[in-house]
């Protein structure tokens, strides 16, 4: 299963992001989406799972989006939250993958058997941070993440 992971588009879905997400089985958006049109464009590529980011909170179009979402990705349990500070995992809760955004800093961090993934920001460049998204190859026995740079 190929999963596209994107965050912090802030109303801008770059052609490079659309191209990178082609062929995905589903797309996960970790918030700060910016407009309903972003979700519509992504849904034209693959089914979309999304949470609200802090910049989406007051937007009428985002009222139906959750702040936190648990997903099954090919047998792996994923937790999707915009800000890593809001991640709450119970001691007996099985979460294999934590997906966050907010910081605009891409990160792939294995902590024991749990993957923490921030795809970075796919929208407008912030400071000198890279413009990225992530792709996951999710198999029954493994998750292989990789970051994709959208700007050279």
Res. 152: pLDDT tops 80: no
> Quick one: pLDDT at residue 90?
84
- The whole model's pTM is what? 0.96
Q: What is the pLDDT of residues 114-134, one digit of tens each?
A: 999 999 999 988 888 999 999
> Quick one: pLDDT at residue 91?
82
> Quick one: pLDDT at residue 112?
87
> Quick one: pLDDT at residue 145?
98
Q: What is the pLDDT of residues 65-106, one digit of tens each?
A: 999 999 999 999 999 999 999 998 888 889 999 999 999 999
Q: Which domains does the chain have, with CATH numbers?
A: 2-149 (3.60.21.10)
User: Strand, coil or helix: what is 54?
Assistant: coil
Rounded to whole angstroms, the Cα distance separating 95 from 77 reads: 5
> Quick one: pLDDT at residue 127?
82
**By the 8 A CB rule, do 46 and 136 touch?**
no
Q: What is the pLDDT of residues 8-30, one digit of tens each?
A: 999 999 999 999 999 999 999 99
């Amino acid at each position: 299963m190929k999963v596209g992971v994107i965050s912090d588009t802030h109303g801008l879905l770059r052609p490079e992001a659309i191209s990178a997400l082609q062929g995905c089985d589903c797309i996960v958006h970790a918030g700060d989406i910016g407009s309903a049109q972003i979700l519509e464009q992504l849904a034209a590529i693959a089914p979309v799972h999304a949470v609200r980011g802090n910049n989406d909170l007051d937007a009428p179009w985002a009222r139906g989006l959750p702040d936190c979402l648990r997903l099954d990705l090919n047998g792996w349990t994923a937790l999707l939250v915009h800000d890593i500070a809001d991640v709450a995992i119970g001691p007996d809760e099985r979460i294999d993958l934590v997906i966050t955004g907010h910081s605009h800093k891409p990160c792939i961090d294995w902590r024991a058997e749990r993957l923490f993934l921030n795809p970075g920001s796919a929208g407008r460049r912030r400071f000198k941070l890279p413009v990225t998204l992530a792709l996951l190859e999710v198999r029954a026995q493994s998750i292989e993440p990789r970051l994709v740079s959208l700007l050279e």
